[in-house]
Amino acid sequence: MIRLTHAAIPHADINRSAVRRTPALCERDAVAADPAGDVWATIRRECIEAVERDGLIAGPLSNALLRHATFADGLSTRLARKLADADLGVGALSALFSEALNDDPSIVRAAANDLAAVRDRDPACPDLITPFMFFKGYLSLQGFRISHWLWKRDRQHLAHHIQSRLSEQFGVDIHPAARVGCGIMIDHGTGLVIGETAVVEDDVSILHGVTLGGTGKQCGDRHPKVRRGVLIGAGAKLLGNIEVGEGAKIGAGSIVLDDVAPHTTVVGVPAKPVGPKLVDLPAFTMDQMIAPPEYMI
């Protein structure tokens, strides 16, 4: 569940001309119209506060956020502007993304949960606006969700087009057939690769340079299965049809070739279990240290 508090702020309080030109919208109506309406109301309040601090940001925030009635509308437009090219422009992509989000509200709810996860787990993220506008880890994950929607509807070539654009724009390559839960935090995102048969369950945190790949010698089901609450450190490589148990922690730079037991820390090349059993879910704590006895390579 997303636990966000918000208070309605009348549009008359906005004193920037770029924002005054946006259509008036009652936050209560936005909540009713959108599966993530409470999140959108909070984002709109944050936008108003940001504009009051810095008028120069009024234009970008108005175009990306305040002019849209719902979270789904805003997300569709934001992704379309990031991924448009000469082959598919902003209008075509925005319509396609809106179709996906309207057809499957679970994508909207997952996107809202992802947003809250980034805000709650990333100390460099002070609010919800920042990842929505600027974090490529968050935006690439939402683009993947739409490519996955296309893949399930036998529109594989269009799904691959979205995958390709996400890789070109954000440096994140997630196969459209992969299965990814919600409440996912992808920090930085650069160099992330997730293969076709990979599974990432809810509430997982992944840093940059991570690969969930195959071993290069198998067909069929050949990629890792990452269970709930796992933390995967920067540069880690998880290869093959292995299972990483709930609440496990993968140390930065590790190469994981075998199953990882639940609530276990593994580090090294190849990765080996170290330290005591974990009590908390490391994806939430984001604690990348190893409890004593320390492991030395």
CATH (domain of 96): 1.10.3130.10
Confidence band (pLDDT; 50, 70, 90) for 157? Answer: very high
The whole-number average pLDDT for the span 187-204 is 97
> Is residue 17's pLDDT more than 80?
no
Amino acid 22: pLDDT: 37
In a domain? residue 16: yes
- Are 133 and 9 found together in one domain? yes
Domain match, 205 and 277 both: yes
Exposure of 279 by Cβ count < 10 A (0-12 exposed, 13-18 middle, 19+ buried)? exposed
Model pLDDT, residue 14: 35
| 140 and 7 in a common domain | yes
Is residue 184 included in any domain, yes or no?
no
- Residues 136 and 63 reside in one and the same domain: yes
- Is the pLDDT at 256 greater than 80? The verdict is yes
107 domain residue, yes or no? yes
Residue 179: pLDDT over 70: yes
Report the predicted TM-score, pTM, of the whole model to 2 decimal places: 0.86
Contacts of 121 (CB under 8 A, 6+ apart): 185, 187, 205, 283, 284, 286
Q: What is the structure's pLDDT at 34?
A: 66
Q: Are residues 109 and 40 in the same domain?
A: yes
Residues 17 and 158 in one domain: yes
For residue range 198-226, list pLDDT tens digits in order: 999 999 999 999 999 998 877 899 999 99
Residues 152 and 199 in one domain: no
Do 215 and 105 have their domain in common? no
CATH number at residue 232: 2.160.10.10
Count the domains in the chain: 2
Residues 222, 240: contact at Cβ < 8 Å?
Answer: yes
The answer to the question of residue 176 being in a domain is no
Domain-embedded: residue 135: yes
Instruction: Give the residue from 140, 171, 202 where a domain finishes.
Output: 171
Last residue of a domain, one of 171, 203, 219: 171
Q: Are 165 and 198 found together in one domain?
A: no
- Residue ending a domain, among 107, 140, 171, is 171
Burial class (CB in 10 A: 0-12, 13-18, 19+), 292: exposed
pLDDT at residue 294, rounded to an integer? 55
> What's the average model confidence in pLDDT over 151-169?
98
Provide the residue range defining the domain that includes 146.
1-171
78 lies in the same domain as 208: no
**Looking at the domain assignment, is residue 180 inside a domain?**
no
Mean of all residue pLDDT scores within the chain = 87
Q: In the prediction, which pLDDT does 5 show?
A: 34
DSSP 55: G
- Could you read off the pLDDT of 32-66 as tens digits, one per residue? 456 677 899 999 999 999 999 998 998 888 888 88
| pLDDT score at 18 | 38
